[in-house]
């Protein structure tokens, strides 16, 4: 059984992950309405992965005999000022999530909760990848500049992303 400070913090993180999923779904719809099906696909898969991140926490809490306390998910933003603005917002959001994960690790350390500390290592690695992915798209957008052809190619590229379901949940 987890200490209450730890389980409360993990429950809060479930909400952060579900909000991330909601935010990226909103971004996916925004791209779809712009006719950018590849960007929309990339964001839709991002949203699915965020739900998996929430479920991993959900299952971990249950495996520890702790309570899952689901809260209201806040409404995400619906409009942005173009493609770059969306990806910048994505990077910014991932940096926020990285901070949340680091704070969770601090709590696990403070409570000498080795199991949770170990569990969180997966999220640490995942955050490096998540930030890198957003940065990579931003760099490409920078290179593309005003070229419609290059944007079309990038959109085609992002359409290739496929969702891989997690093998284990906890
Ligand atoms: Fe995009 O991050 Fe979840 O954890």
Looking at domain 4-158, its CATH superfamily turns out to be Ferritin, core subunit, four-helix bundle (1.20.1260.10)
CA gap 54, 139 in Å, rounded? 29
Domain ranges of the chain: 4-158
Whole-model pTM: value is 0.96
Q: How far is the CA of 77 from the centre of ligand 1 (A)?
A: 18
Higher pLDDT, 169 or 23: 23
Closest atom of ligand 1 relative to the 50 alpha carbon: 3
pLDDT value at 152 more than 60: yes
Burial of 20 (0-12, 13-18, 19+ CB in 10 A): buried
Cα 3 to ligand 1 centroid, rounded to whole Å? 24
- In terms of Cα–Cα distance, which of 99, 117, 98, 97 is closest to 108? 117
The answer to whether the beta carbons of residues 141 and 84 sit under 8 Å apart is yes
Pick the atom of ligand 1 nearest to 94's CA. Answer: 1
Average pLDDT over residues 41-48: 98
> Is the pLDDT score of 67 beyond 90?
yes
Give residue 168's pLDDT: 62
Mutate to test the pocket of ligand 1, among 12, 15, 17, 18 (most ligand atoms within 8 A of CB): 17
Whether residue 170 has pLDDT greater than 70: no
Ligand 1: nearest atom to the Cα of 123: 4
Number of the ligand 1 atom closest to the C-alpha atom of 93: 1
Q: Are 10 and 60 in contact (CB under 8 A)?
A: yes
Residues with CB under 6 A from ligand 1: 17, 20, 50, 53, 94, 97, 123, 126, 130
Give me the pLDDT at residue 166, please: 87
- Can you list the alpha helix ranges (DSSP code H) found in 64-113? 83-110
Average pLDDT in the 92-117 region? 98
């Amino acid at each position: 059984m987890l200490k209450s400070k730890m389980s409360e913090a993990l429950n809060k993180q479930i909400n952060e992950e579900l909000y991330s999923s909601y935010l990226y779904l909103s971004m996916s719809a925004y791209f779809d309405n712009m006719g950018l099906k590849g960007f929309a696909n990339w964001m839709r898969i991002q949203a699915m992965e965020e739900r998996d991140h929430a479920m991993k926490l959900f299952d971990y809490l249950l495996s520890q005999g702790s309570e899952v306390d689901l809260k209201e998910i806040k409404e995400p933003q619906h409009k942005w000022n173009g493609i770059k603005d969306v990806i910048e917002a994505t990077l910014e959001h991932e940096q926020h999530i990285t901070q949340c994960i680091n704070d969770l690790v601090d709590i696990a350390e403070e409570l000498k909760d080795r199991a949770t500390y170990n569990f969180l290592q997966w999220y640490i690695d995942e955050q490096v990848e998540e930030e890198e992915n957003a940065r990579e798209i931003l760099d490409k957008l920078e290179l593309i500049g005003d070229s419609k052809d290059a944007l079309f190619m990038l959109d085609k590229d992002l359409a290739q992303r496929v969702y891989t379901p997690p093998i284990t949940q906890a």
